[in-house]
Amino acid sequence: MLILIKSGRVIDPGNIDGIMNILIKDGLIAEITQAEPVFFGKDIRIIEAGGLIVTPGLIDMHVHLREPGHEYKETIETGCRAAVHGGFTSVCAMPNTNPVNDSKEVTHFILKQAEAAGYARIYPVGAISQGLEGKILSEFFDLKEAGVKAVSDDGFPVRSSLLMRRALEYAKGFGLLVISHCEEMDLAKSGVMNEGEVATRLGLGGIPNAAESVAVMRDIALSELTGAPLHIAHVSTRESVDAIRNAKKRGAPVTAETAPHYFTLTHDAVHGYNTFAKMNPPLRSAEDRTAVREGLADGTIDVIATDHAPHSSIEKDVEFEFAANGIVGLETSLPLSLKLVTDGFLSMDELVKKMSKNPARIIGIENTLKPGAVADLTIIDPDYHSKVNSAEFKSMGRNTPFDGMKIKGGAVFTLVRGKVVFEKERP
């Protein structure tokens, strides 16, 4: 069957920006033209995209799907379904599962489950260290052969600078990207939220900005030492943004991501001991939020990822100190990011770079709208008004601090391999 996406504003930064028609055949883009393509026969689906934006598929570089091991929080199927509902055609799945993804067997399993689910693609991220224990490197060659593009000890920061150096050296040799969760554990361990006035008022232990930026600076130094590409995960502080900006000025092979909660909320969201506002790194001050927005605007921060981290009420419906870190993000990321465009921090073109083109470039995959390319694409309505309703999430996680928030815009169609895997119901 053919699909014709008609009269959408096609935005593929550096390639196309204009009102175009896209014809899809056998899972591939057959034509992109201003004129309506000529076709024969009736077996065609026409998607009227007037007023909508058509982009290369959105890619979320940082998600936690809890399979294998914690399927009561999320499965690969529910996570991939949530992804396409949020407009994502691909996600990078972090390795802190049980067993940890430090082997080709677990990588194969994840890929098999993703294929069986049939929604978004998964690019599994392998562990830097075996069992995420920070002691012995995983078998990078095996992981690479099995289909891994990046390695990370996300959630369990690599303490040893020597191990991190070796990880960067080996990763460079095998063409793998190192994604670093930057956290100096000794500085962070007695805290459960951002260090500052709100923590003092609530009587909660604080995590200083330096717990992140000290580690960011170390890993930048190690990336410069080894010449290995380094991607810094979930940037939350002004000092980290400054360090990354300076590193880029020096030509260091460093890229960075932040998540919608860091440019939308501040530590004020923790008031009332709201465990849905607890994540690692924590929500920071208004000054940090401004710095993150500026870092996105000036290109210091390349990527918007979600750090989608589903938890159940068992982990969240407890005292703040004991609650697990993390919030779900796949189904709120696009509207929250579109607000950056509405508020003038980013152009639509820049947003598409941060949610699609840059993640693809950084992990080393093709993602361009051109004839012959695989038809992974997202159709966005930037204008419809709605409210976040976590009860309707396809994710099994309900842990969002954004429930009830008024939002504007979102995905209306998601196509993976030329197949419509999500279509928003029209009222």
From Zn ion, ligand DOR, none, interface partner of 280 (C-beta below 5 to 8 A by class): ligand DOR
Using the rule CB under 5 A, is 307 a contact of Zn ion? yes
Residue nearest ligand DOR, Cβ-based: 326
Distance separating alpha carbons of residues 345 and 48, to the nearest angstrom: 29
Shortest CB 180 distance to Zn ion, Å = 11
154: contact with Zn ion by CB under 5 A: yes
With respect to ligand DOR, which residue has the nearer C-beta, 325 or 390?
325
Give the bridge partners for 303, in sequence order: 257
Closest Cα partner for 179 from 238, 95, 106?
95
Q: What are phi and psi of 242, to 5 degrees?
A: -60, -45
Q: Is position 64 an interface residue for ligand DOR (rule: CB under 6 A)?
A: yes
The interface with ligand DOR within residues 289-348 (CB under 6 A) comprises 309, 325-326
Enumerate residues 147-176 that contact ligand DOR by CB under 6 A. Answer: 154-155
Judged by beta carbon, residue 170 or residue 262, the one nearer ligand DOR is 262
Q: Does 70 engage in binding with ligand DOR (CB under 6 A)?
A: no
Query: What's the closest the beta carbon of residue 122 comes to ligand DOR, in angstroms?
Result: 16
Per-residue binding string, ligand DOR, 185-224, x by CB under 6 A, is: ----------------------------------------
Q: From the CA atom positions of the chain, what is the Rg in Å?
A: 21
Q: Alpha-carbon distance 348 to 380, whole Å?
A: 11
Can residue 181 be called a binding residue for ligand DOR (CB under 6 A)? yes
Q: Which two tokens stand for residue 60?
A: 């979320």
Catalytic residues: 307
From the CB of 263, what's the least distance to ligand DOR, in Å? 16
Whose CA is closest to 31, among 61, 6, 11? 6
Buried b (16+ CB within 10 A) or exposed e, 2-40: bbbbbbbbbbbbeebeeebbbbbbeeebbbbeeeebeee
d(CA 33, CA 105): 44
Work out what residue 326 binds among ligand DOR, Zn ion, none; the CB cut-off runs from 5 to 8 Å by kind.
ligand DOR
The piece of 254-262, 302-310, 312-320, 353-361 that touches Zn ion (CB under 5 A) is 302-310
Contact pattern for ligand DOR over residues 226 through 245, marking x by CB under 6 A = --------------------
Residues 93-112 that bind ligand DOR (CB under 6 A): 96
Rank residues 182 and 291 by Cβ distance to Zn ion and give the closer one. 182
- Give Cβ neighbours of residue 295 (< 8 Å, ≥ 6 apart): 235, 241, 244, 245, 256, 258, 301
- Name the residue nearer to ligand DOR (CB basis): 305 or 412: 305
Q: How far apart are CA 181 and CA 216, in angstroms?
A: 9
- Find the shortest distance in angstroms from Cβ 362 to ligand DOR: 19
Cβ-based nearer residue to ligand DOR, 154 or 302 = 154
| Minimum separation from the CB atom of position 339 to ligand DOR (A) | 22
Q: Which residues bind Zn ion (CB under 5 A)?
A: 154, 307
Q: Which residues bind ligand DOR (CB under 6 A)?
A: 64, 96, 154-155, 181, 279-280, 309, 325-326
